[in-house]
Structure 1
Amino acid sequence: MAGREDGNRLRETQTGTGPEWAEELLEHLRPTGRDVRRVVAWLSGALGATVALQDAAGNLVAGNPIPLDEDLVADITAGRIASAAWENGERHLRLVRVDHPSHACVLAVSRQAPFDRRASGVVTHTAQVIELLLTARESTAAGHRLRRATADLRLAILQLLMVEDTIAARRVAAGLWPGLLDADTACVYVVESAPAVRDRIAEECLDTTREDALVVRCPAMDGHVIVVSPRETTDEALRSLVGRHPGLFLGGSVRQSLAQTATAYGQAVSALAVAHFRADKTAVYAERTHPERLMDPVALRAWTSRVLRPLDALPHHTRAELLATTRLGLEFTAVNAAKVLGVSRNTVRARMERVETLLGTDFADLTVRAVVHLALNTRIGLPDTLPADDTADPGLRLADLLSGPAVRTWGRDLLGRLDADARNPRRTLRTWIAVGGNAERAAQALGVHAQTVREHVRSAEPVLERQLLAAGTDLYEVVLAHLTVGDLDLPVLPSPA
């Protein structure tokens, strides 16, 4: 008797053979243990059996393959019978139906010992646990697919706004977020975080704005979340979010029309660079004086019309596509512009090369890029109610636009901020611009190290309150300032310019 008691005690400590098997099975429902393959492996060890979980097509989901009668499996997965059991003298086989959200599976258990009440109970309860895990996994996967589809849709809306197709953007948004883009104007914000936490921050942005804003994971910058919102309350909500997380920074644009979302995005990125120097880690783009606002608007529009006239012969959709791509391509790298637009970088480069050919320009020259950028922004930045282009002097040139007293004063004041620095970063900056923003070539021209050039340019950014090392509006305004004061030669453009 004592021997038998010792033997029973030994058997009860083995996995799944004593009263604790139910507790062991329930452990697999904990968040850290939800794995169908682990449950099947546990069942195999608990009953000393070979276990297979397969779908109706015979595909093995978990466990080890077991030869099964196809007709019997079909009856079980079709729901005609719930379970089956038989023996062939050496092996005992038990099959149980496992429901699945999309299709039924069969749990097959084969072992040498017969299935007593306890073994049958273990199989039945294990099938129920597997059913719960499969349902949870399917729900989780469906949730991931839904969130991914929603995120892709938000990105598509942003890409439409970036190319000024506000009608299509509103149409797409109306289905899921009615009223989101009903306003004519909006602000764009960029929240910067570590890439590893970007997804969580994006979800918090959605919660914080109560989905009253278009929240997009930036396709170009891994740590950025872009928020487009017509609501006045978004600014305060995002500032609060940044205040709760030490690793976040926020840049915001001024209010712009939806058609100028690309411009607003550039402003937000520029403000984000300033936010890194602020105690509260936030900054809104300063509504500073831009050079184009100091020029005669009628003359500026007439000059712009003549510069872009070579594109007028193109079909409307082709012209709009080229202009929108070039605007973004001048603001960002070709790779990042491609990600924002949802096209390949080769497509961006091909479109920009076509514009170069049509305009007779070379975008490798920073002065050319700045002047074309001025023309492209003028095309959408000035009201359509201005007088027709032919009211202006047809002989007006770029030199005339840049020689006005107001714009020249602006250029002198802006660049004059650098004169107090004994290192003469103004000379470095002028040389760096003249060689296309290439630090190595500028260093050769100045007889210094390339790192010195980079440090001078970087140190000029907070003084000028403009981002220089990344292409965009800030850099092009500094280039125009050099042109207005005569520190750089005017670019060679076709005769209309």
Structure 2
Amino acid sequence: MAGRPDGDPAFQQPNGGDSAWAQELLDQLRPAGRDPRRLVDWLARTVSASVCLQDDRGGLLAGEWLPLDSAVFADVAAGRVSAASLDDGARHVRLVGIRRPGPGPGAGAVLAVARPEPFDRRATEILGRTVGILELLLRERESAESGRRLRRATADLRLAILQLLMVEDTVSARRVAAGLWPGLLEQDSARVYVLEGTAAERDRLADACVDATEGRALVVRCPAVDEHVIVVGPSADVGERLRSLVADRRGTFLGGSPRQRLALTATAYGQAVTALAVARFRSDRYAVYAARTRPARLIDPAALRAWAAAVLRPLDQLPHHVRAELLATTRLGLEFTAVNAAKVLGVSRNTVRARMDRVAALLGADLSRLPVRAVAHAALDTEAAQGPYDLSGGAPGPPTRARLTELLGTSALRSWAEGLLGRLDEDGRDLRGTLRAWTGADAHAERAAQVLGVHAQTVREHVRAAEPVLERRLTAGGTDLYEVVLAQLVTGELPVPDVGTPGPGTPNPDQPDSPVHR
């Protein structure tokens, strides 16, 4: 074994003869050809040898596997010698260390070249020049990989902040954001936007959002929908910047929420998704969640708040952070599917279902029933919008539960409900009757079809036909569907459910979540 210093003339001296290989070697630096594997294959052909490129632990990076002396390989990989020559009588082998970026004597990779003939001046020079090119390519690849790791870590951090906001942990979200984006979440409120493009273009769309907002917004690749990018924008000009971005990108749509408290990020996200559905049918491909009349606005605020507090009172015995986590998860689980809620929160779908089952048991609510989900959603939404019930101001004790039938029996609510559902009466297909059967069957088309004596596909077509008439998404579930169900409760088309006291078998509130098998 003989070591070669880096400055050995054999690795530096130009060849005055055949120079075609030099041009071919330079071609390896063209943008389309920068691939270490391609360069190793070229070296093998050019010097008529077997070539192997390994990392410093012996893993194969390119070329074909060669049996090598482990001690010699270790010396080159560790940087104790920069190169070595071996001759076992049957082949001539050269090992050369490819230096890694940064400090330290070790090699990032080892190039081994074996051929039956000795290395002449031409082969030696080609090998030396190739080592220099390989070092550049490996440095470029390492730099690109470091950039990818940094972008992935930054994306993961943005997602973690969003997930903290989704469960109302604004203190932790601010703490995490302060390290990289100081001041980003200083304001107490923000708007949430959802942009939709194609899954293939989603990364470029997210990068464009980061550039457009100039660090004034939290940009997250949606973990639930591959085509979506979520933007939390505390700054007032974020919306205008995103609208300009969408205007310049065909096939891209933008939905936005009204300004909400950071603790209501999950609510704002649902509103932005609803607005996105509207944006798909608008010429400017942009829509903001409509501030239309909500049934909660037609109920006495104090009575509604007291009712919601009484419904949710069984959860008050839980530690504050556990209660907040359960309620935030349940709100998302009622608004979206358990699978999508799990992706947004960064937990398993079994965890989402376990938390929702725990809440259902504590409230005595059968969340498999659509009317019950609508009522539970109303209670959760009321607390989210108005905050927990405050016993200060003269309230003598815990709120007394008002009957839900009394809250829904006002003339204002009845007028709203009849006006909403009455839109369906103008259609000759009895959309109202189909919708009543469908919601009564907990949104199961097959069960509704059995009740009506029609085909399940007819039920689905009627429900889809009712969506533009009511200006609400029904098949996707969530707030729009629950409003329609509340209207049916008001008009008596559905019986008002009893979201009452917990039944036997209620789990201990201090017991941790457990998986659910369904």
Fold equivalence (TM over 0.5): yes
Assess if the C-alpha contact under 8 Å between 1:220 and 1:339 holds in 2. Answer: yes
Assess if the C-alpha contact under 8 Å between 1:302 and 1:389 holds in 2. Answer: no
Q: Distance in 2 between matches of 1:459 and 1:172?
A: 46
* Cα distance, 1:389 vs structure 2: 5.7
* Cα distance, 1:289 vs structure 2: 1.5
Aligned to 2:319: 315
Aligned to 1:454: 460
Is 1:34 aligned to residue 45 of structure 2?
Answer: no
Aligned to 1:349: 353
Is 1:110 aligned to residue 114 of structure 2?
Answer: yes
CA 1:408/1:309 → structure 2, altered by over 3 Å: closer, same or farther?
same
Assess if the C-alpha contact under 8 Å between 2:310 and 2:400 holds in 1. Answer: no
Aligned to 1:54: 54
Aligned to 2:84: 84
Aligned residues: 480
Q: Distance in 2 between matches of 1:299 and 1:132?
A: 72
Q: Distance in 2 between matches of 1:243 and 1:44?
A: 52
Q: Distance in 1 between matches of 2:21 and 2:401?
A: 93
What CA deviation, in whole Å up to 9, does each residue of 1:23-62 have, x standing for no partner?
2112222232222122111111101112222334333332
Aligned to 2:100: 100
Q: Distance in 2 between matches of 1:495 and 1:167?
A: 33
Aligned to 1:236: 240
* Cα distance, 1:390 vs structure 2: 5.3
Assess if the C-alpha contact under 8 Å between 2:363 and 2:501 holds in 1. Answer: no
SS of the residue 1:180 aligns to:
coil
Aligned to 1:219: 223
What CA deviation, in whole Å up to 9, does each residue of 1:259-308 have, x standing for no partner?
00011001001111111221111111011121111111111111111111
Is 1:247 aligned to residue 218 of structure 2?
Answer: no
Q: Aligned match of 2:435 in 393, 407, 429?
A: 429
CA 1:388/1:347 → structure 2, altered by over 3 Å: closer, same or farther?
farther
SS of the residue 2:426 aligns to:
coil
* Cα distance, 1:86 vs structure 2: 5.1
Q: Aligned match of 1:483 in 483, 489, 514?
A: 489
CA 1:175/1:20 → structure 2, altered by over 3 Å: closer, same or farther?
same
Q: How does 1:93-492 map to 2 (within 5 A)?
A: 93-101=93-101, 103-104=106-107, 105-382=109-386, 387=393, 394=400, 396-492=402-498
Q: Distance in 1 between matches of 2:86 and 2:328?
A: 71
**One-letter identity of the residue aligned with 1:81:** V
SS of the residue 1:195 aligns to:
coil
Q: Distance in 1 between matches of 2:453 and 2:303?
A: 42
What CA deviation, in whole Å up to 9, does each residue of 1:173-230 have, x standing for no partner?
1111111111111101111112121111111111111121111111111111111101
Assess if the C-alpha contact under 8 Å between 1:468 and 1:474 holds in 2. Answer: yes
Moved >4 Å (runs of 4+):
86-90, 383-393
Q: Distance in 1 between matches of 2:459 and 2:205?
A: 36
Aligned to 2:508: none
**One-letter identity of the residue aligned with 1:203:** D
* Cα distance, 1:150 vs structure 2: 0.8
**One-letter identity of the residue aligned with 2:308:** T
* Cα distance, 1:89 vs structure 2: 5.1
SS of the residue 1:470 aligns to:
coil
Aligned to 1:43: 43
What CA deviation, in whole Å up to 9, does each residue of 1:310-347 have, x standing for no partner?
11222222222211111111011011111111111111
Out of 215-224 and 386-395, give the one that drifted further.
386-395
**One-letter identity of the residue aligned with 1:414:** L
SS of the residue 2:231 aligns to:
strand
CA 1:495/1:112 → structure 2, altered by over 3 Å: closer, same or farther?
closer
Out of 57-66 and 236-245, give the one that drifted further.
57-66
Assess if the C-alpha contact under 8 Å between 1:298 and 1:389 holds in 2. Answer: no
What CA deviation, in whole Å up to 9, does each residue of 1:98-152 have, x standing for no partner?
1123751222222233323221110011111111111111111111111111111
SS of the residue 1:260 aligns to:
helix
CA 1:79/1:459 → structure 2, altered by over 3 Å: closer, same or farther?
same
CA root-mean-square deviation: 2.1
Q: Distance in 1 between matches of 2:347 and 2:38?
A: 43
Q: Distance in 1 between matches of 2:403 and 2:275?
A: 32
What CA deviation, in whole Å up to 9, does each residue of 1:377-426 have, x standing for no partner?
11121156785665998362101111122222221222222222222211
Q: Which runs of 5+ in 1 are unaligned?
A: 1-16
**One-letter identity of the residue aligned with 1:79:** G
Assess if the C-alpha contact under 8 Å between 1:299 and 1:389 holds in 2. Answer: no
CA 1:86/1:162 → structure 2, altered by over 3 Å: closer, same or farther?
closer
What CA deviation, in whole Å up to 9, does each residue of 1:63-84 have, x standing for no partner?
2344444444344334343333
Out of 283-292 and 241-250, give the one that drifted further.
241-250
Q: Distance in 1 between matches of 2:354 and 2:183?
A: 37
Assess if the C-alpha contact under 8 Å between 2:307 and 2:401 holds in 1. Answer: no
Out of 248-257 and 392-401, give the one that drifted further.
392-401
Q: Distance in 1 between matches of 2:347 and 2:369?
A: 25
CA 1:365/1:71 → structure 2, altered by over 3 Å: closer, same or farther?
closer
Assess if the C-alpha contact under 8 Å between 2:307 and 2:399 holds in 1. Answer: no
SS of the residue 1:179 aligns to:
coil
Aligned to 2:20: 20
Q: Distance in 2 between matches of 1:353 and 1:113?
A: 75
CA 1:388/1:41 → structure 2, altered by over 3 Å: closer, same or farther?
farther
State the identity %: 62
SS of the residue 1:106 aligns to:
strand
Q: Distance in 2 between matches of 1:392 and 1:115?
A: 92
Q: Distance in 2 between matches of 1:218 and 1:390?
A: 46
Assess if the C-alpha contact under 8 Å between 2:364 and 2:501 holds in 1. Answer: no
